[in-house]
Structure 1
């Protein structure tokens, strides 16, 4: 089961996205700002971070920067969602509007998880590969 770190300071939106993600079969970890998210990501490396841009203490852009350069967290895929047009940020795989339809949010999460899982899969063992070809 993939783990998603959901970062947003709006409780209603966090609850809605949590419900959607849990129905999709993901484990959800919550944070209310970038500082809390970074601390939680250090404790348990998520498979995906979905973060708001505008938040108190540490915003989503700063969080993305930290995730990109933090040993052990580099390469964690990020989806940035915002009520405003977000800038292009290194490490962000997708940017979504907070007002996007839920099916668009679901599709984006599934796509990024699938892409990152595919990239993280170890190469086939050559022996297993040749045995499989003989059967």
Structure 2
């Protein structure tokens, strides 16, 4: 069972993702912005982070940057989500493992998570 941190200021989206990921067998933590996410990570390290790109207080780009700056956290894969096109996100942020365009297809979320977490159905060996 993987620990997934969902970071989104839209409660409905965070709740939907929490429910879907729990149904997939994951334990889900939530935060409403990047600052809260870093606080959650300080108490419990997730295996994967799904983060909205545009949020108050600390956005997804700042969260990815903070994770990249910490040697202990740089290996946590981050999936960024946004209604902006992927190219626009790539211009403003790098270091994330995947991108999901909002509104997303929930099956795409499950598939992307499975690819990035070995015990969620992806390869156990990163060399595969």
**TM above 0.5, one fold?**
yes
Asked which structure has the greater RCO (Cα within 8 Å, sep 6+), the reply is 2
Please state whether the residue corresponding to 2:55 is helix, strand or coil: coil
| 1:16 paired residue number | 16
What CA distance in whole angstroms lies between the structure 2 residues aligned with 1:117 and 1:81? 25
| 1:113 paired residue number | 117
Q: Is 2:104 aligned against 1:100? A: yes
Structure number with bigger Rg: 1
Aligned length: 120
TM-score (norm 1): 0.82
- Deviation readout 1:25-49 (Å, 9 max, x if unpaired): 0000100000000111121111001
TM-superposed CA distance for 1:101, in Å, is 1.0
What CA distance in whole angstroms lies between the structure 2 residues aligned with 1:52 and 1:116? 26
- Deviation readout 1:51-76 (Å, 9 max, x if unpaired): 00000000000000001112311111
Unmatched tracts of structure 1, length 5 or more: 120-135
TM-score (norm 2): 0.87
| 1:27 paired residue number | 27
Q: 1:20 to 1:65 in 2, by over 3 A?
A: same
